[in-house]
Structure 1
């Protein structure tokens, strides 16, 4: 019975194609789109924010202290 249920489940999923298409579509779409977007965007903003944060933190620290 377990084997029959397993075969039926596999045939159902394969026949419907809903589960098979649903998983690859969302996973394939965000992977290629997110990879270039994440790599291109964080590259420029990463070096900029650290400098601005460091410069702002260094200036306000001595100003209020003095």
Structure 2
């Protein structure tokens, strides 16, 4: 159901794989994983948000993953 809604919102462009992953069986994976990401990137830390985003982007590039 969520994927159908996303497809309507992004009519002129394809829905990205990460959006598909997070919306497929969201109660089992998407919502808990999103909460984990939110905590990792926005929770208390010695690093600023921008630094954490940079680490995530750099790691994604090493894994050849578009971020």
With structure 1 as the length reference, what TM-score do the two structures score? Answer: 0.29
Counting helix residues as a fraction of each chain, which structure ranks higher?
Answer: 1
| Greater radius of gyration (CA) | 1
Larger RCO (CA within 8 A; separation ≥ 6): 2
